[in-house]
């Protein structure tokens, strides 16, 4: 298995400023509830997954777009502090993407995203074939996802948020990662490798419609589940690029996702490779 530092991951996706307020319970439709003071975190599925991959130790490049504004500069600084290469990030005339997040005491959340600059991302001239694995999500345009899939040697699609994925993109995917809701848009027989995340219950790994691995997370007391799914995807990409077995990849990613819930913000508690391996050794 190759070392983490020699494993190259390219992440094509969104970068958002997360504006977060914590509440005792999520509001019902039409209900107003009082929350804590508003807090600002770095986020966006693409940026989160790049930060997760880099924190684990992989050589990680983020291809995304931010606005020519203070939020965009701040997000770039946050990624660089994690060790993410940002030289291929673009600057847009549109404002930096923003996510409005409400988190209740249990750790559950609701999220609304204003994509802004993310909608302008274009990777048609990027050299994505240089990476061991390329990861993309669906907070960017379908055209950008398809362009990334066509260029990548190994392509992982996190089909989130939930929307229809074209047959052309699915055919180009080496792995599709979804949660239970998003899985209904895909179906286990449509892709070669499908991974379904199950929240606190862990995840399942299918190859050609057959369940080949399942994993449950370590017991933790979650503080904030916002970044768990993205940490899972980043960790999955790193371990998959190293050629690990389906079970090993899944165990590693499930553990990383669980550990990412121990701090506030999508990037607040991303684990290192050493931390993940230590927790796995306890199992």
Q: Collect all residues with Cβ–Cβ distance below 8 Å to 241 and sequence separation of at least 6.
A: 2, 7, 8, 9, 58, 132, 133, 154
230 is a catalytic site residue: yes
C-alpha to C-alpha distance for 10 and 15, rounded to whole angstroms: 14
Q: 228-241 and 45-56 are packed helices; what angle lies between their axes, rounded to 10 degrees?
A: 50
Looking only at the bridges linking them, the beta strands covering 97-104 and 175-179 are unpaired
Take residue 42 and report the two structure tokens written for it: 């770095």
Q: Spot the catalytic one: 18, 132, 230, 251.
A: 230
77 DSSP 8-state letter: H
Check if the beta carbon of residue 122 is closer than 8 Å to that of residue 90: yes
| CB 17 within 8 Å of CB 96 | yes
Residues with a catalytic annotation lie at: 230
């Amino acid at each position: 298995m190759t070392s983490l530092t020699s494993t190259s991951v390219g992440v094509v996706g969104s970068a958002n400023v997360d504006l977060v307020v914590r509440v005792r319970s999520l509001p019902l439709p039409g209900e107003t509830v009082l929350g804590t003071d508003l807090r600002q975190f770095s986020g966006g599925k693409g940026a989160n997954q790049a930060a997760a991959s880099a924190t684990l130790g992989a050589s990680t490049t983020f291809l995304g777009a931010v606005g020519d504004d203070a939020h965009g500069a701040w997000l770039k600084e946050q990624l660089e502090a994690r060790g993410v290469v940002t030289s291929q990030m673009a600057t847009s005339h549109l404002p930096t993407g923003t996510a409005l997040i409400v988190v209740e005491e249990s750790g559950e959340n609701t999220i609304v995203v204003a994509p802004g600059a993310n909608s302008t991302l274009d990777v048609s001239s990027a050299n994505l074939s240089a990476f061991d694995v390329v990861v993309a999500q669906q907070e960017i345009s379908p055209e950008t996802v398809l362009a990334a899939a066509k260029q990548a040697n190994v392509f992982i699609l996190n089909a989130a948020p939930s929307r229809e994925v074209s047959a052309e993109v699915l055919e180009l995917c080496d792995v599709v990662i979804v949660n239970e809701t998003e899985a209904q848009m895909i179906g286990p027989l449509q892709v070669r490798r499908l991974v379904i995340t199950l929240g606190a219950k862990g995840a399942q790994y299918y190859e050609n419609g057959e369940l080949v691995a399942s994993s449950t997370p370590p017991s933790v007391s979650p503080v904030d589940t916002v970044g768990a799914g993205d940490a899972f995807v980043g960790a999955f990409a790193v371990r998959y690029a190293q050629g690990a077995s389906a079970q090993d990849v899944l165990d590693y990613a499930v553990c990383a996702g669980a550990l990412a819930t121990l701090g506030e913000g999508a990037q607040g508690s991303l684990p290192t490779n050493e931390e993940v391996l230590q927790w796995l050794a306890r199992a």
